[in-house]
Structure 1
């Protein structure tokens, strides 16, 4: 197999949770361009249909499934629908997540006035929202002993990012979960099953837009801090995650397991000096 063939996802069935979001859209597009059949999961049915249309416009096959990643019964039903349509699942991208407005601690807010329930909801979405789909879709991958699972970590997985406690705790948990599941699946089902994570830098999305930009489009003080502490001197473009995604799902990364791949313009590498 040539090196170019190793990067191909031609004919592989890839499930993308959170496929209706900003980063999810970039993932869906990249997978379609790499030849995958893409199952788009999300709560927003209209957006899911738009993503299917995007896949089809690129000459691929898409399938929309309305489901909440925190609802185990709905995810089981989604799995059954995908298997009924395509007969197998080769990969899973756990892209559902993001911060919740009420879980953000404002700079003028008392740290201890933050809603504990909202913080726990942010943890649940970003951690349980990956665990539940992995245990349901991952069983198909494990039993066929071939496939890849990609979780989405964050800069906050290994260093403190102020004001987003629930998100930080959850993304740190994603790293632990990725390494644990990578180990267990490989030991039990062999070297054809892999679990890795992508840790994006700061990309402008609907969830963080109010935190990093002003209504006029200029950067907030917080947004400018991210830029100042990134050697590239800018925020990321969602399309810049495509290469890492395709690599980790493809045979080109066949000996990569339990790893966290940072795509952050050097933010995590720089000391600031």
Structure 2
């Protein structure tokens, strides 16, 4: 349907060199959008941009750090030069770090505060800074849709991942707050929502959830028990909700967190 089309829209994906980022890029291109693939890994960003171009799409590689505002500004200028506009932003950059993990044997009154802060910085400031830079261009252009990445950790307690939980809970609050503020200033022209993925296998969590032989770890088994669909998600299963939020099909939707989780968040386990 035309309302789900991203034709004539230019969309930036931070974390575009990751596993989920690749699915986001392909989904945007398949829906007709041009994509800016932003990440720190130049080789992967350029390879993915070349793959999109080779199959008839429009893409540009953007080498930048989401915690470095100057590099983001340079990336913004490169996108505007290539596509003439910015219509969407997917804040896919983020993740966990060992220093933000609290293990059962750890003393919870001797937390690694610097480690927790690093995870907060990556996920929260690594979302807010791109919004400051690319959102400004969207507002100047008169329209735009911003999609943040939330987590199950913001909705229910998931053991060990304290830093990630704090950061993603803040992302939910930021999404709601910013959606109201942009509506007050720009009406329905600039929107912000979030996707909350359930458990998807990425490079960061693969060793936590799966065994080298493909079986599940104890933690992976616990996730499967809590997920009514009894499986992990596939990256391309996030694409439908993402394209909906970026497209005009969701033009009356803002400040919302959309779960794509196989029922994990609503399952009591009983």
The residue number in structure 2 matching 1:117 is: 114
1:11–1:36 contact (8 Å) kept in structure 2: yes
1:151–1:197 contact (8 Å) kept in structure 2: yes
Matched, 1:263 2:227: no
Matched, 1:107 2:69: no
Displacement of 1:112 in angstroms is: 4.0
Question: Residues of 2 paired with 1:156 and 1:57: CA distance?
Answer: 38
The residue number in structure 2 matching 1:157 is: 154
- Aligned pairs for 1:1-273 (under 5 A) are 4-273=1-270
Question: Helix, strand or coil for the counterpart of 2:264?
Answer: coil
2:36–2:62 contact (8 Å) kept in structure 1: yes
Displacement of 1:56 in angstroms is: 1.9
Question: Residues of 2 paired with 1:77 and 1:176: CA distance?
Answer: 28
Question: Residues of 2 paired with 1:163 and 1:54: CA distance?
Answer: 38
Question: Helix, strand or coil for the counterpart of 1:28?
Answer: helix
Question: Residues of 2 paired with 1:169 and 1:233: CA distance?
Answer: 27
Question: Residues of 2 paired with 1:80 and 1:47: CA distance?
Answer: 21
Question: Helix, strand or coil for the counterpart of 1:261?
Answer: strand
1:90–1:147 contact (8 Å) kept in structure 2: yes
Displacement of 1:54 in angstroms is: 2.7
Q: What TM-score comes out, normalization by structure 1 length? A: 0.96
1:29–1:54 contact (8 Å) kept in structure 2: no
1:145–1:190 contact (8 Å) kept in structure 2: no
Question: Residues of 1 paired with 2:13 and 2:184: CA distance?
Answer: 25
Question: Where in structure 2 are there 5+ consecutive unaligned residues?
Answer: none
Q: CA RMSD of the aligned region, Å? A: 1.1
Displacement of 1:221 in angstroms is: 0.7
Q: Which structure 1 residue ranges, 4+ long, deviate > 6 Å from structure 2?
A: none
Question: Residues of 2 paired with 1:27 and 1:91: CA distance?
Answer: 12
Residues 184 and 235 of structure 1, relative CA distance in 2, 3 Å threshold? same
Question: Helix, strand or coil for the counterpart of 1:148?
Answer: strand
Q: Tell me the matched-pair count.
A: 270
1:32–1:58 contact (8 Å) kept in structure 2: no
Displacement of 1:114 in angstroms is: 4.2
Residues 219 and 113 of structure 1, relative CA distance in 2, 3 Å threshold? farther
1:15–1:92 contact (8 Å) kept in structure 2: yes
Question: Residues of 1 paired with 2:117 and 2:34: CA distance?
Answer: 34
Question: Residues of 1 paired with 2:55 and 2:107: CA distance?
Answer: 49
Displacement of 1:12 in angstroms is: 0.7
Displacement of 1:107 in angstroms is: 3.5
Displacement of 1:159 in angstroms is: 1.4
Range that drifts further, 106-115 or 130-139: 106-115
Range that drifts further, 112-121 or 198-207: 112-121
